[in-house]
Structure 1
Amino acid sequence: MSATTFMAREIAEIPAAAEAVLTAGEAARIGAALSARTFPFVVVCGRGSSGHAGVHLRYLIETRLALPVSAAAPSVVTGYARPPQVAGALFIVVSQSGRSPDLVAATEAARAGGALTLALVNDPDSPAARASDLVLPILAGPERAVAATKTVTNSAIAGAALVAAWAGDRALDQGLAALPERLNRARALDWSAWSADLAGAPAAFVTGRGHGLGPLREIALKLAETLRLPALGYSAAELRHGPRASVSAATPVLALRQADPLAEGVDDLVRDLTGDGLRVHACGGPLGTLPWLGDGHPACDPVAMLVPAYRAIEAEARRRGLDPDKPVGLTKVTETL
């Protein structure tokens, strides 16, 4: 294993990658074009880390544009051969490589069914891009580690810039303008208290709400693929239901909290879990225990929180003698039907 992993290098490149996609202006151009059209609903299609960026995009579209957003199930097309009726809708495929056959097939079916199709991809010449009416390159640059990092943050940032222009949301636009500098500062945040607490844990939980849901699920995925640790990401509301019964003193909880109307619910959960003697590491707000930058834009902060989480996971993988660049059984491009 290299002394400096590709994963570490690519985490370090996140601020510059963010600056690149925002400066390019393509997200703003496409968003402005979308504002001249009407859509009955939006469908977002993606798997794994790209799917988590899609969840972040879903919250932005629903909160800024009041459009209902559905998550596509590609197997409905590839396995059941029943393309959904999407005439007039906007279909957005999010994919690092743009090469998974099921995502490409779902995009082709949506376009054939009368949807306007948009690809958020790192490879603008990929099959998913060629299958789409519009292409928004995320401009993350080459990513060699199997565990995606800068392509995830740039997918989320490109989607947010798209919505900012589409909805005419100046506050979101300003939050995005400040994000590269905040991402750079986030690189210095040390979350090793959380990652060290994972030693010996049979499982881990990550929680938050709203704009934090996609990022928290992404962190749970990184724990699973990089540390081989079963990890579950739930909204703070969902965790209070059945999953709460499986949280114990042996299963650390990471809580992400952005300053928006859902913050109180995250605070209440952190307070209750801590009061029950459970191991909770919180980022943001008055109950925060992990280093943080202070409140920025609430849709941007959960993306910035990925940086210290990624850094802590990469360092913990090396400490355990694991190679974060090549997790067992995984490849960079996952092709599924």
Structure 2
Amino acid sequence: MDTEMRQQPDVLAALADRFPALTAEVARLAASLGGSGGGPGGGPLGVAFLARGSSDHAALLGRYAVELQTGLPTCLVAPSVTTAYHRAPAGFRGWLLVALSQSGRTPEIVDLARRYTAAGAAVVAVTNDGDSDLARAAALTVALDAGPERAVPATKTVTAQMLAVLAVASGLGGTDGLTHAQAATLPSAVAELLADSEGPAAAAELVARHDRLAVVGRGACYPAALESALKLQETTGLMAHGFSTADFRHGPIAVCGPDAPAVLLAGSGPADADTLDVRSALAGRGAPTVLAGTASDALLPWPALGHLGECLTATVRGQQLALATSRALSIDPDQPAGLNKVTMTS
């Protein structure tokens, strides 16, 4: 896990170099759909995301990006609607379906990509393997080319997927999409974080004293909160749960107290002030907190980037926390009990 985490700057740099080509390919595919009310050239009627596990968290970032930049209707596909309830995706003609699978071999994702294609959607595959079944089922493939990922907790493929979906969103046009120049700054930002071992170790010392915790974020940090909670679950077995800050206030904050800390992810976006504000309520409950983000007092800082790419820096901080906590608990993060690298959901 540690080795693969440290490969992220190189993986992201290679993707960032391809960013203009990727956005151009997406733009051409989108224009070919020609749906009314869509983006430039007609464009898709809407954008759907299909994923499971960590890939689902990258998909959520993609949904944020597309909605913010284009105003197109977006959704996260519920795979069981088709696979278990046998409802054909007939209403998705003229839509773009972004299907994410790190391996490209999950039967459920591959099967649904084919079904959505048959229903008239154009499928973009985001996968580490450009020769996978998923890639062959798609109209366009964004191959991550991150190299083999052997650790069960996915790291470099997740942040690569996040950058890939930001490229897809930028290819759809609209306003305030991630630019090539902004994408090019992410590898060095991630490398700077990976050079910091003191902050993760200090945060892990607090987290390791408890058996349950909340991971909270909003906007660009919400997908990172879900992914960070998953990494803590996988590597340590702790009962970690990710929340949107807005949802957290509506009741789940009650789980936090002296015996249940909260990890707060708050960057430089307009939704992050809400996460910083929740600290006072947590203090009133006596809940220990670990702050990660752009605030001056963050234990796990990252640079203020001012765009959705901060989801990647927040995610890397979550990876570091999970790895450091597993080490503090003397748990091997590479061999989580009862987990496999590829989950063959069907």
Into which bin does the TM-score normalised by the smaller protein fall? over 0.9
Deviation for aligned residue 1:169: 5.1
Q: Is the 8 A contact 1:53 1:156 kept in 2?
A: yes
For the Cα contact (< 8 Å) 2:205–2:328, is it kept in 1?
no
1:37 deviates by 4.3
| Separation in 2, partners of 1:274, 1:56 | 29
Please, what TM-score do these two structures have when normalized by structure 2?
Answer: 0.91
Post-superposition shift, 1:203?
0.8
Equivalent of 2:238 in 229, 232, 236: 229
Letter in 2 for 1:186: L
Partners of 2:212 and 2:238 within 8 A in 1 = yes
- Displacement of 1:304 in angstroms is 1.1
Give the Å deviation of 1:282: 1.1
Matches within 5 A, 1:187-266: 187-189=194-196, 190-266=199-275
Matched residue, 2:121: 115
Counterparts of 1:44-83 in structure 2 under 5 Å?
A: 44-83=49-88
Identity of aligned residues (%): 34
Residue 16 (structure 1) aligned with residue 10 (structure 2) = yes
- In the alignment, what sits opposite 1:125? 131
**Cα separation, 2, equivalents of 1:89 and 1:314:** 39
Report the Cα distance in structure 1 between the residues aligned to 2:255 and 2:327, rounded to whole angstroms. Answer: 28
Give 1:251's aligned amino acid: A
* Residue matched to 2:27: 32
Q: How many residues align?
A: 331
Q: Normalising by structure 1, what TM-score?
A: 0.93
Letter in 2 for 1:175: Q
Greater Cα shift, 143-152 or 84-93: 84-93
Q: Say if 1:96 and 1:151, in contact at 8 Å, map to a contact too.
A: yes
Question: 2:115 & 2:219 partners in 1: Cα distance?
Answer: 30
Of the three residues 295, 306, 309, the one matched with 2:304 is 295
Q: Deviations over 1:169-219 (max 9, x none)?
A: 567213212111101101123222222112231211101101111111000
Q: Which moved more, 1:120-129 or 1:261-270?
A: 261-270
Matches of 2:285 and 2:320, distance apart in 1: 29
Structure 1 gap ranges (5+) = 1-6
Q: 1:319 to 1:247 in 2, by over 3 A?
A: closer
| Amino acid paired to 1:193 | A
State how far apart, in whole Å, the 2-side matches of 1:80 and 1:276 are: 43
One-letter identity of the residue aligned with 1:31: V
Question: 2:132 & 2:250 partners in 1: Cα distance?
Answer: 41
Q: Could you give the per-residue CA deviations for residues 245-299 of structure 1, whole angstroms, max 9, x where no partner exists?
A: 2122111111111212212211211232124321111122447431313311331
Deviates more, 1:236-245 or 1:193-202: 193-202
Q: Structure 1 residue 232: deviation in Å? A: 0.7
Match of 2:165 in 1: 159
Q: Structure 1 residues 334 and 222 mapped into 2: Cα distance closer, same or farther (>3 Å)? A: same
Q: Structure 1: how far apart are the matches of 2:44 and 2:177?
A: 24
Q: Deviations over 1:280-328 (max 9, x none)?
A: 1112244743131331133111211222321232232233232211211
The one-letter amino acid paired with 2:129 is: D
- Hey, which bits of structure 1, 4+ residues long, moved more than 6 A? none
Deviation string, structure 1 residues 124-183 (Cα, Å, up to 9, x no partner)? 111111111111111211111011000000000111122223326567213212111101
Partner deviation per Cα, 1:221-261 (whole Å, 9 max, x = no partner) = 00111101111100100001121221221111111112122
Kept after mapping to 1: 8 A contact 2:257/2:287: yes
Q: Deviations over 1:19-60 (max 9, x none)?
A: 011113442232332354422211100011011000111100
Q: Deviations over 1:37-89 (max 9, x none)?
A: 42221110001101100011110011011112111111222212112221111
**Distance of 2:63 and 2:77 partners within structure 1:** 12
- The partner residue of 2:186 within 163, 179, 198 is 179
- Change in 2 beyond 3 A, CA 1:172/1:24: closer
What is the distance in 2 between the residues matched to 1:138 and 1:170? 23
